Structure 1
């Protein structure tokens, strides 16, 4: 995720200061790792340096001066280009789940890998139940439902891989002992 592009997208709705951007990020992108205030302000500094945002005014609102920022024409172009760029699928398998299973097979053999896969399958099923409950909550926002859908599809893919790998490890174990 590009924090800079996300902030540009949030600023497309109108000028905001850093505190508002952080709050908007966390509210509109639920289930995404929250962004730190320092990261927001550092990113705004880079965006301003690069001519993608500019100060739109200051307000005090009972506290310290807060500078609001707005997109420049260059920022609008950068945001549009980013949104039009298709994400390439990852070229390598990088998930901790995959790595743990392979290492368990290499180091401990099929028994430990099977035990890990069974435990991991249960953790995924439990998480699926939580996300399904969230989706049916009448108070859930559209962002929360879309985030839950995204997570559910990925968990489902992981579960299919876990079951497939569990079947393979079990079969290999049978062949070795057979």
Structure 2
């Protein structure tokens, strides 16, 4: 998730100061990815350093406003026009946890899967309830549409996670039914001696 480009998108609609940017960012994403003011101002400093935003005066309360530059608008348009790369997928803690669990002796992998499924089902119910509330309160505003899109992405993502957990449980059951491969040296008949018996010499 690009905070950098998210702030540029907000500034493209007019100058704002840090707290305004934080509030609007969280309103449009439903606070799914909360920001702190320090993070916002750190990002603004980097954007200013790169020539993508510029100071735009202060108000009577001393708030420093920022405005997007032409270079910033070009950067924003390029972001919108460029697909999000999937060649380097982000680390998924759940996938890493299960990958480690199946290789560490003594871990009840089935219990790990079941616990995660219960948690994911609860999250799915919460997201679905929030979607219902958002649809009931929809006033046709762009911010409402933005929040609905984020919610639906979370719903689809969680549904996919639950399907994957079901698949993991099936895969684990199939693996348990497979016979253990013999260890080296087991179930091997003793090798016959290749030496021929010596004939006794008669005297």
TM, length-normalised to structure 2: 0.78
Give the Cα separation in 1 of the matches to 2:47 and 2:39: 12
Structure 2 portions without partners, runs of 5+? 139-143, 181-203
Q: Quote how far apart the aligned CAs of 1:144 are.
A: 2.9
Q: 2:148 aligns with which of 145, 150, 157?
A: 145
- The 1:93/1:169 distance shift into structure 2, 3 A limit, reads farther
Give the Cα separation in 2 of the matches to 1:143 and 1:122: 28
Partner of 2:29 in structure 1?
29
Partner of 2:64 in structure 1?
67
Partner of 1:17 in structure 2?
17
* Higher Rg of the two aligned structures: 2
Structure 1 portions without partners, runs of 5+? none
Partner of 1:99 in structure 2?
96
Partner of 2:109 in structure 1?
113
Give the Cα separation in 2 of the matches to 1:75 and 1:92: 27
Partner of 1:125 in structure 2?
121
Partner of 1:168 in structure 2?
171
Secondary structure of the corresponding residue to residue 171 of structure 1: helix
- 1:97-156 Cα offsets, whole Å, 9 max, x none, are 1111122211136x7111111111111111111111111112363333222210111111
Q: Quote how far apart the aligned CAs of 1:8 are.
A: 0.6
Give the Cα separation in 1 of the matches to 2:153 and 2:122: 16
Secondary structure of the corresponding residue to residue 55 of structure 1: strand
- 1:60-92 Cα offsets, whole Å, 9 max, x none, are 2xx3x1121111111111111111111111535
Give the Cα separation in 2 of the matches to 1:18 and 1:92: 31
Give the Cα separation in 2 of the matches to 1:11 and 1:142: 19
Give the Cα separation in 2 of the matches to 1:95 and 1:67: 38
CA RMSD between the two structures: 1.9
Q: Quote how far apart the aligned CAs of 1:93 are.
A: 6.7
Secondary structure of the corresponding residue to residue 54 of structure 1: strand
Give the Cα separation in 2 of the matches to 1:160 and 1:93: 20
Give the Cα separation in 2 of the matches to 1:161 and 1:90: 20
Segment of structure 1 superposing worse, 75-84 or 27-36: 27-36
Question: Which structure dedicates a bigger proportion of its chain to helix?
Answer: 1
